[in-house]
Amino acid sequence: MDGVAPLGINSVGIIGAGVMGAGIAAQAANAGAKVLLVDVASEGSASRNAIAEAARTRLAKSEPAALMHPGFLSRIATGNIEDDLGRLAECDWIIEAVVEKAEVKRAIYRRLEPVLRPGVAVSSNTSTVPLAALTEGLPERFRRAFLITHFFNPPRYMRLLEVVAGPDSDPETVARVSAFADRALGKSVIQCKDTPGFIANRIGTFWLHAALIEAVRRGIGVEAADAVLGRPAGVPKTGVFGLLDLIGLDLLPHVLTSLRAALPADDALLGLGPAPELVGRLIAAGATGRKGTGGFYRLKDGAKEVIDLATGDYALARRPVPPAAKAARRGGLRALLAHSSHEGRFAFAVLSATLAYAAKVMPDIAADAEAVDRAMRLGYGWKQGPFEMIDALGAGWLAERLRAEGRTVPPALADGRPFYRTDAGRLSVLDRNGAYRAVERPPGVLLLADVKRAGPPLAANRSASLWDLGDGVACLEFHSKMNALDPWSLAMANRAVRMLPAKGFKGLVVHNDGANFSVGANIALLRVAAALRLWPAIGWLLRRGQTVFSRLKLAPFPVVGAPSGLALGGGCEVLLHCDALVVHAETYIGLVETAVGIVPSWGGCAALLAQLATAPERQGGPMPPVIKAFEAIATAKVSKSAEEARDLGFLRFSDSIVMNRDRVLAEAKARVLAMAKGYAPSPPVKLALPGPSGEAALELAVRDYARKGVASPHDVTVAGELAHVLTGGSSADVIVPVDEKTVRDLERAAVLRLARTPQTRARVAHMLKTGKPLRN
């Protein structure tokens, strides 16, 4: 984002330059705000701002990257709390992110309060301290400016923001901060009640602690526990113990202590008891997880080891797949929890307790079940929230199982009704009064899932569908595994070009709500065809993709790409053939075909050359667009953000970047409607390509990389084919421009030659088997 003035917040001050404070500072800079990051003064150092300066320096090197673009670091200034209260007071929003001790936080607020300007918002990033304890003894003026904004780590990538307003908080201030967090920071904002742990950590801590206690009590191995409470349960593949290693073992006792001090005595979390003694021993030994010497898992001499919960000894990891996990693959969550094995009973004990706990505390911590589910999906990475899980299992089934074990059934589960249903095409949620009400989306949010509930698709096949977004705009959705593109995907895109004008549609958005836009062409088809020597079939598929994407580019209506997540290979080629892009900030784009030993061949080389050649900022001469395209494609470079994709040339400067993923589709639809009046396809681009002299220059650079050991022999072969394509072939001459079709013909020929090599076939097979490139 280039500016945030319309949201009323242009500058953000962060007090506390630790991991969270620095991460929040980076995300505010990503949003376009001016940021002041301060910590305590560093006495005796060359700079009194040394702590904040060191944090700023670390941001530039962090992995995963905290900044969406290296240039955004310049938006972050540093200071210290002793000398820079006046500079902090000039900020529109001040966020405190210091140690989780109420007295330390209040001491900062008391120093800050006298210099606050009217209208400034002040918030705490606390995850455990109640708002009432934070504002105790502070004047009303401060309490009106104050709220809690609980970010999740890492702040750039975790989309959840829990907001807690106190009884004295100014509603306009809360609304302004929430709007900025939504539109500028890209957060899904959930208004929480001022209760211990708020929503996500209240339930997430129970889940993690219950799994740890039950695994120790039942003698379940760490790997077996993660195997059943990971993907089979719809939670991240790390499972429970892998997640504890990731967040740090030392965090769990701290959070448990904070919750134990704040929760009522009859809360089920307290009934689980303290953390097992093994956790304390590991922490004392520095084995706090990935940030320490290891935890429940560790790497030793390059080998992964796992701890025995009973003895504390480590052994080589074996990656078991318990029968309960296999049952879940076939029958889903209920099959997992109904499995009679030791691991199945463990999974039921943990998840049934967690779901019952969520049902019991939901009325006290959140507005409704939807808020809880969203918090757990976005804060803990669950595929489904607890109430969506209950609906998948059947509330009646779960209640009956709880009764059979003599356990209390929460009132919300007692009558067995689902928490969600669809009424007149709209998602409804069961409220606390026992009535269903429609789930309201914020203005400017359009979700494809809601569109799909409203009615059947305009057209559909096994890999793609067409949907009516209203107002004369259609949506092309890919929905194969990982949204890989295949002949059915191409058929639906082709059908859209033919069908939409006949039905009076004004334009098309290419979008889906999967984790990734598209990982590219389904290379399994290439592997099979090459193994069977079906060269004509490969040629047909290449030509088909080129034809369909060219038709999208020349369609009599605007086509806007609206991606999020990975857009690789063929997925990137789709976007390069769109008239405009509205891109989620966390979109990772690249033409990665060289990693499997081929070159882009659905028009990607031609389209990228055309885009670079017509860019307003391009340098003169025929070589700059060719060199830039060659560097991006030959190295299989994938952008680490939409901003970086713009640097690589995959986005035009006229394309839009949207911070909040939930707003991408609505903005893309608006872009289509804005372009539709008087629309005409862009005229074909003539490319001035350097021919053999340019090809020789590129090959010389590649041979230099080979001499240095950076490029393998087959890398040299693939790069040579790519250089031939991008420079226009052996007959190209810079004074005789060529059209994109010439380059597309060269693409196809190059892939057909490369597909015949054993090295390319080995790379394709290796990628399909491991998901990683092979260097040969």
Same domain, 423 and 467: no
Same domain, 34 and 92: yes
Of the candidates 746, 691, 567, the one whose C-alpha atom is nearest the C-alpha of residue 639 is: 567
Same domain, 228 and 367: yes
Same domain, 177 and 68: yes
pLDDT for 236 equals 85
pLDDT for 2 equals 44
Residues whose CB is less than 8 angstroms from the CB of residue 448 and which lie 6 or more positions away in sequence, other chains included: 467, 475, 477, 511, 512, 513, 665
Q: In CATH, what number is assigned to the domain containing residue 27? A: 3.40.50.720
Residue 444 falls inside a structural domain: no
Same domain, 426 and 478: no
Of the candidates 187, 123, 179, 127, the one whose C-alpha atom is nearest the C-alpha of residue 155 is: 187
Give the 3-state secondary structure of residue 428: strand
Among 164, 192, 220, give the residue marking a domain's end. 192
d(CA 382, CA 386): 9
Same domain, 746 and 621: no
Neighbour-count burial of 78, counting CB atoms closer than 10 A to its CB (0-12 exposed, 13-18 middle, 19+ buried): buried
Which range of residues forms the domain containing residue 37? 5-192
Q: In CATH, what number is assigned to the domain containing residue 242? A: 1.10.1040.50
- Would you state the structure tokens that stand for residue 700, as one six-digit string? 């010389």
Residue 449 falls inside a structural domain: no
φ and ψ of 293, to 5 deg: -90, 10
Q: How many domains would you assign to the chain?
A: 4
Residue 124 falls inside a structural domain: yes
Same domain, 204 and 188: no
What is the torsional sign of CA 63, 65, 70, 76? negative
Same domain, 259 and 159: no
Same domain, 496 and 599: yes
pLDDT for 237 equals 85
Q: In CATH, what number is assigned to the domain containing residue 493? A: 3.90.226.10
Spans of the chain, pLDDT less than 70? 1-6
Residue 16 falls inside a structural domain: yes
Same domain, 526 and 659: yes
pLDDT for 6 equals 59
d(CA 656, CA 652): 9
Residue 436 falls inside a structural domain: no
Same domain, 226 and 79: no
**Long-range pairs of 302-306 with CB within 8 A, sequence gap ≥ 24:** 306/221, 306/222, 306/223
pTM flag (> 0.85): yes
Of the candidates 113, 359, 343, the one whose C-alpha atom is nearest the C-alpha of residue 223 is: 343
In this structure, are residues 195 and 365 in contact, taking their beta carbons and an 8 Å threshold? yes
Among 378, 395, 430, give the residue marking a domain's end. 430
**Separation in Å, CA 600 to CA 116, 408, 568, 576, 743:** 56, 59, 10, 12, 11
pLDDT for 5 equals 54
Among 412, 430, 448, give the residue marking a domain's end. 430
Residues whose CB is less than 8 angstroms from the CB of residue 116 and which lie 6 or more positions away in sequence, other chains included: 89, 122, 141, 142, 145
d(CA 241, CA 572): 36
Same domain, 297 and 379: yes
Residue 448 falls inside a structural domain: no
Residue 683 falls inside a structural domain: no
Residue 653 falls inside a structural domain: yes
